[in-house]
Amino acid sequence: MKKTAPIGLALAFVFSIGAAGFSRPAPQDPAALTGLVTYVYDGDTIRVRLDTGGEKKVRLIGVDAPEFDDPQESARLSAFLARRFAYSKLNQKLVRLTMDKDKEDAYGRLLAYVWTDGTAMFNEVLVREGFARAYLKYPFDEATKARITAAEAEARRAERGLWAVQPRPVVGAGEASRRVGQVVTVRFRCVRTFDRARFRVLVPAEGEFEAVVPIDVLASFPGSLDFENKTMEVTGLIEEYRGRPQIVIGLPVQVKVVDDPKALRFRPRPGISV
């Protein structure tokens, strides 16, 4: 299993928005562990506060999400989206962990299948939605391997996530509430901005949608940060926060000011780590 890449403080701030619990998964396997997800490192690595005591870093078996330290900007964006997806599904949620033959990897992380209820294995969901690849380098349960392999084949056929060959769909802010859970580009005219805790919030003229940028990430944007009365395109995962759809921005490449005649996407200033 791969080692988790370190993540900058600015990106850590991005994952502090919104969480909702659900009923505790039934411990169908007597050897299973249950606990609360307290942190999401990336698409395939989380931290769980175990009911038996203590917290443990957990690496999902059979999946490989993109890395934040990849030199390609597109790969870093895929890594951010995978982490947002995992965060939206797992953070502060009660989960059940089942293990395979190998209980830990060389870094002391639990190797586990993560269940959000009796039948939904998040490892499989992550791959089926196109946020990670099947990772078959190490041996694990053959039936589960077949499930994850089939999930990747389905994602490829449907051209989801990592397998998308077309640009993300462009929708208006008024449609965002119908796109929760999808990665899209939202085009809107920003009529107001305000700061909420450590975040800058961009408000459109229509709909309930918000684009949310951590202040530390905002510092990596070049040029003017005055977005009011500008037409913008923001790309990311539509999440629901306190009943409103939002996209959280973790990388400058997710934002484009359409009023710019050259329509250039923002690039980080030299020396800024994203």
What are the tens digits of pLDDT across the range 152-195? 999 999 999 999 988 899 999 999 999 999 999 999 999 999 99
Verify that 182 and 252 share a domain, yes or no. yes
CA gap 18, 15 in Å, rounded: 8
| Cα separation, 14 vs 82, whole angstroms | 13
For the cut 70, the answer to whether the pLDDT of residue 47 exceeds it is yes
H/E/C letters for each residue in 110-172? EEEEEECCCCCEHHHHHHHCCCCEECCCCCCCHHHHHHHHHHHHHHHHHCCHHHCCCCCCEEE
Angle at 233 between CA 240 and CA 207, to 5 degrees: 45
Residues 190, 142 within the same domain: no
Run of H or E including 35: strand 33-42
Whether 55 is covered by a domain: the verdict is yes
- Cα 25 to Cα 37, 94, 100, 132: the distances in Å are 13, 7, 19, 24
Q: Is residue 65 part of a domain?
A: yes
Total count of domains within the chain: 2
The residue ranking higher by pLDDT, 70 or 25, is 70
Q: Is residue 1 part of a domain?
A: no
Same domain? 60 vs 176: no
Domain co-membership, 117 together with 14: yes
14 and 125 fall within a common domain: yes
What pLDDT is stored for residue 197 in this prediction? Answer: 92
β-strand partners of 34 = 96
Q: What pLDDT score does 119 carry?
A: 77
Tell me whether residue 88 is in a domain: yes
- The pLDDT score that the predictor gives to residue 166 is 84
Q: Provide φ and ψ at 3, rounded to 5°.
A: -85, 140
CA 99 centroid distance within chain: 24
Q: Which of 59, 84, 133, 200 is catalytic?
A: 59
Work out the pLDDT band at 147, boundaries 50, 70, 90.
Answer: very high
Considering the domain architecture, whether residues 157 and 240 belong to the same structural domain is answered as no
Distance CA 12, CA 274 (A): 11
Task: Give the residue, 134 or 220, on which the prediction is more confident.
Answer: 134
Are 192 and 216 in the same domain? yes
Judged against a pLDDT cut of 50, whether residue 18 lies above it is answered with: no
Q: Which residue has the higher pLDDT, 21 or 31?
A: 31
48: alpha, beta or left? (left if phi > 0; alpha if psi -120 to 50): beta
| 141 in the same domain as 37 | yes
* Pair of tokens at residue 82: 């995978």
Q: Of 109, 141, 163, which residue is a domain's last?
A: 163
Q: Quick check: 243 pLDDT over 70?
A: yes
| Mean pLDDT computed over 117-139 | 93
CATH number at residue 13: 2.40.50.90
Are 42 and 5 in contact, with CB atoms under 8 Å apart?
yes
Q: Are residues 137 and 223 in the same domain?
A: no
pLDDT tens digit sequence for 190-207: 999 999 999 999 999 988
How confident is the model over 218-241, as pLDDT tens digits?
Answer: 988 877 789 999 999 999 999 999
For residue 76, the surrounding DSSP H or E stretch is helix 73-90
Rounded-to-integer distance, Cα 129 and Cα 65, Å: 12
The residue count of the chain comes to 274
Say which of 83, 96, 109, 133 is annotated catalytic. Answer: 109
Cβ-contact 164, 176 below 8 angstroms? no
pLDDT band for 101, please (50, 70, 90 cuts).
very high
Closest CA to 126 of 90, 75, 179, 166: 90
pLDDT over threshold 80, residue 256: yes
Domain-terminating residue out of 146, 163, 180 = 163
- How high is the pLDDT of residue 100? 95
Of 57-66, 70-79, 170-179, the least confident: 70-79
Residue 30: what pLDDT? 62
Kindly state the average pLDDT of the residues 18-27. 43
Please tell me which residue, 96 or 4, carries the higher pLDDT value: 96
Residue 47 known to be catalytic: no
Asked if residue 274 is part of any domain, the answer here is: no
pLDDT at 13 over 70: no
Mean pLDDT value across the chain: 86
Residues 96 and 231 in one domain: no
Q: How far apart are CA 183 and CA 180, in angstroms?
A: 8
Beta carbons of 184 and 169 less than 8 angstroms apart: yes
Which pair of tokens denotes residue 239?
Answer: 């999440």
Residue 26 has pLDDT above 60, yes or no: no
Domain assignment of residue 33, yes or no: yes
Answer whether residue 266 is part of any domain: no
Q: Note down the domain range covering 190.
A: 170-257
Claim to verify: residue 200 and residue 152 sit in the same structural domain: no
3-state secondary structure (DSSP) of residue 165: coil
Same domain flag for 153 and 185: no
- Locus of tokens 């989960």: 95
Residue 248 belongs to a domain with what CATH number?
A: 2.40.50.140
Whether 109 is catalytic? yes
- Kindly state whether residue 263 falls inside one of the protein's structural domains: no
| Percent share of the chain, pLDDT over 70 | 83
Residue that finishes a domain, picked among 163, 188, 217:
163
| Catalytic status, residue 124 | no
Give the pLDDT confidence score for residue 31 in this predicted structure: 75
